[in-house]
Amino acid sequence: MYSPTQLFLIYSGLFFAALVFSLVINSVFMRFARTLGMRDQDQTLVRWSSTAKPSLGGIGFYILFLASFSLYSVLFPGQGAEALRPDLLGLLAATSLGFLMGLADDAYNTKPILKFLVQMACGGILVASGSCIDLFEAQWANVALTLFWVVGVMNSINMLDNMDGITTSVSITILIAGLMAMLVIGPVDPVYMVLLVGSMASLTGFLFFNWHPSRMFMGDTGSQFLGVFLAFVGIRFFWNTPNMAGHWEPARQVLSAIIVFLLPIVDTTVVTFSRMARGRSPFVGGRDHTTHHLSYSGLSDGQVALIFIGLSLLHVFLTFVMFRYIPVWKNLHTTIFVSYALLLLITAIILTRRTHASKP
């Protein structure tokens, strides 16, 4: 067994090694790949950026995810069998399927129904491998909620990827929240630590190329892979996490997941209902996201990204307070956190109604 100091050095070394690898591999992609994920002008995808850029970031995410998965047995000799648990093998299969779906969509612009079926399959794989939300007594209700959660997160992460640095930053903070939950509640699982740290490093390296003005997009390859992985993080560290005393508190579990994923949830909710109210399909892209309306209000792309980073870090802090400083969950706590979530949602709705595009 390693001492706490040794574990800190192992995880720190993994992070910096993965960060360097992410910077190098994305630099290679920028140098040698110029067309993958660049759509023709007559296709339906709508980007905030006026110029086409390679959508290669997701490939780096997936490579480093696989590398982290493989490195576990090297970093922890004699414990390699831990990485072959059903839940982890299911995660590997589901993220691989999401990655392949995103890769196909970047290359061929697949139809929404095919994406939906693949997203359902990703959720089904997680359920079959034991990663299922445990909230109701009826198992069918847990399965239905899990499928809804996985499909919802995959689509919300995809829809949030509409401006430089937004989805990357929000995803990093969600992974930070997962690490925080594991460290506060315990037990600390070395396999999850390796996967979370490696994925955080890959996203941090990619952010160097994705920050405004970006040189690279993550594309559906990245957003679909991240959607599955982040949905799994939500199930494992929030939906199915008891309090510090080991007691199950459904209100705390539901609200912790909602608060951590609040920005993608709010953006997807507002955009979906806004488009439906205008008679438009919610699956057709447009410049009508909360990020865009913040830009229409006079903020620069970089300032919009900083606002999202600040809110995401606030949500990590609120979740930390939930787990660490509220020993017994009461109705007052539910009221406070629900009120905050509704306040953010109402603010986003007001923003979208009072601002409008100043450019086509």
Q: What is the pLDDT of residue 90?
A: 96
Render 55-105 in DSSP notation, one character per residue.
Answer: B-HHHHHHHHHHHHHHHHHHHSTT-GGGGGSHHHHHHHHHHHHHHHHHHHH
Q: What is the pLDDT of residue 45?
A: 46
Cα angle for residues 99, 86, 259 (degrees, 5° grid): 65
Q: What are phi and psi of 110, to 5 degrees?
A: -70, 165
Cα distance between residue 267 and residue 214, in whole Å: 21
Please count the CA atoms within 13 angstroms of the CA of 269 that sit on its side-chain side: 15
Cα distance between residue 70 and residue 83, in whole Å: 8
Strand partners, 217: 55
* Residue 205: both structure tokens together: 């390296």
Q: Where are the beta strands (DSSP E) in 142-223?
A: none
Q: What is the pLDDT of residue 53?
A: 66
Q: What is the pLDDT of residue 233?
A: 97
Q: What are phi and psi of 55, to 5 degrees?
A: -100, 75
Strand partners, 55: 217
Q: Hey, where are the domains in the chain? A: 4-354
Per-residue pLDDT of the chain (360 residues; tens, 9 = 90+): 788 899 999 999 999 999 999 999 988 888 776 554 444 444 444 555 545 566 778 899 999 999 999 999 889 987 877 878 999 999 999 999 999 999 998 888 778 899 999 999 999 999 999 999 999 999 999 999 999 999 999 999 999 988 888 999 999 999 999 999 999 998 889 999 999 999 999 999 999 998 988 888 888 999 999 999 999 999 999 999 998 888 889 999 999 999 999 999 999 999 988 888 887 777 777 787 889 889 888 898 899 999 999 999 999 999 999 999 999 999 999 999 999 999 999 999 999 888 865 544
The residues near 16 (Cβ < 8 Å, ≥ 6 apart) are 201
Q: What is the pLDDT of residue 169?
A: 95
Q: Which of 235, 195, 187 is nearest to 71 (CA)?
A: 195
Q: What is the pLDDT of residue 118?
A: 95
Cβ pair 59, 32 in contact under 8 A? no
What type of residue is 193? M
Cα distance between residue 345 and residue 336, in whole Å: 14
pTM of the model: 0.91
Cα distance between residue 71 and residue 66, in whole Å: 9
Cβ pair 225, 103 in contact under 8 A? no
The residues near 39 (Cβ < 8 Å, ≥ 6 apart) are 45, 52, 109
